[in-house]
């Protein structure tokens, strides 16, 4: 027999956004159910040192932080479910979602916090050196490379913005792009080309991230010229892959309004989506900031928006 779980607040995703929504929802007496998805805890579970989350004077570990947030959510009354949603019906309330094992989840409101994942180059050496010199977030990790040589891989707005940001920490920033022109907006390109501490390597692709030292960390990159095929090497202490992000919104295509990049559209200043009673928070709707603390903030907003929605709906029922 197919299991069915019903709640006033159904939350998809268990990163900072989803767990913060769960904490606020539970404290409001809504007994939220959190469907944790393929990666319980979100992106921070694959992040080692976290130095910019408020409240901790010393560096903390990403997996530890997410475990604490999950435990806090459970402590105040949220229920965690290990499942992956494969089908949604948002045409009527309560909303109906189905997990990959057939379990049905029913929610009077739905908070979507499924996040977004960084796009990577797909190199074996990239995987081996993630967190050891290779990163996909300059804002998160740039501080660790003060006074060191860093490179950024990419040619769009994100890559250019990260290269410029990294000059706050490094006087030696190199942007590596596989073509001979950038896709970034002209105003960003003008800032990049005018900066004395940034140089650009054109028509270069990354063949390998090179590790060394004890403990092992990034020491350089092997490059290949995309026009001539010539091989070269560049020394670097930090490498930032900035080729975009993929929001986890596939299951919602056709059910919610998404922007041109696949992120969920929300009303300005709120977490309300195109479907009343459905709210989105965290990186699944935010392609600008993409920080744990901003995700947590929008998780709080989503829970408060959902709580107000339910209060108004309940009031209307009482009047009917």
Cβ(264)–Cβ(278) below 8 Å: no
Catalytic residue among 137, 281, 283, 286: 137
> Is 259 marked active-site?
no
d(CA 232, CA 234): 7
Catalytic residue among 83, 108, 141, 237: 141
> Is 281 marked active-site?
no
In DSSP terms, which residues pair with 185 in a beta bridge? none
> Is 222 marked active-site?
no
Packing angle, helices 16-27 and 62-75, rounded to 10: 20
In DSSP terms, which residues pair with 253 in a beta bridge? 256
Cβ(150)–Cβ(239) below 8 Å: yes
Catalytic residue among 140, 172, 286, 305: 140
Dihedral, CA atoms, 190, 191, 193, 198, nearest 10 degrees? -160
Q: What are 182-188's contacts with CB under 8 Å, separation 24+?
A: 182/155, 182/156, 183/155, 183/156, 183/157, 184/155, 184/156, 184/157, 184/159, 184/160, 185/157, 188/157, 188/160, 188/161, 188/164
Tally helices (H) and strands (E) across the chain: 7, 19
**Which residues form the catalytic set?**
137, 140-141
């Amino acid at each position: 027999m197919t299991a069915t779980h019903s709640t006033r607040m159904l939350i998809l995703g268990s990163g900072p956004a989803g767990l913060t929504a769960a904490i606020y929802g539970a404290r409001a007496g809504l007994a939220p159910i959190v469907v944790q998805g393929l990666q319980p805890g979100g992106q921070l579970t694959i992040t080692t040192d976290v130095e910019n989350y408020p409240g901790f004077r010393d560096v903390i570990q990403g997996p530890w932080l997410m475990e604490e947030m999950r435990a806090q959510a459970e402590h105040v009354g949220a229920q965690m479910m290990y499942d992956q949603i494969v089908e949604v019906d948002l045409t009527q309330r309560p909303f109906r979602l189905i997990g990959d094992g057939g379990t049905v989840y029913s929610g009077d409101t739905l908070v979507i916090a499924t996040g977004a994942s960084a796009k990577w180059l797909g190199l074996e050496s990239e995987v081996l050196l993630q967190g050891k010199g290779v990163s996909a977030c300059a804002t998160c990790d740039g501080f660790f490379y003060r006074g060191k040589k860093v490179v950024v891989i990419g040619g769009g707005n994100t890559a250019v913005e990260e290269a410029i940001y990294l000059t706050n920490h490094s006087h030696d920033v190199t942007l590596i792009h596989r073509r001979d022109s950038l896709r970034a907006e002209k105003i960003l390109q003008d800032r990049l080309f005018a900066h004395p501490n940034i140089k650009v390597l054109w028509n270069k692709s990354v063949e390998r991230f090179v590790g060394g030292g004890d403990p092992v960390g990034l020491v350089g990159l092997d490059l290949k010229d995309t026009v001539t095929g010539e091989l070269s090497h560049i020394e670097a202490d930090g490498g930032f892959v900035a080729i975009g992000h993929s929001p986890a919104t596939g299951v919602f295509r056709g059910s919610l309004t998404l922007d041109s990049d696949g992120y969920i559209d929300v009303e300005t200043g709120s977490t309300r989506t195109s479907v009343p009673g459905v709210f989105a928070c965290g990186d699944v709707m935010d392609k600008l900031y993409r920080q744990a603390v901003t995700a947590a903030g929008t998780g709080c907003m989503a829970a408060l928006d959902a709580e107000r929605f339910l209060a108004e709906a309940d009031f209307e029922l009482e009047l009917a």
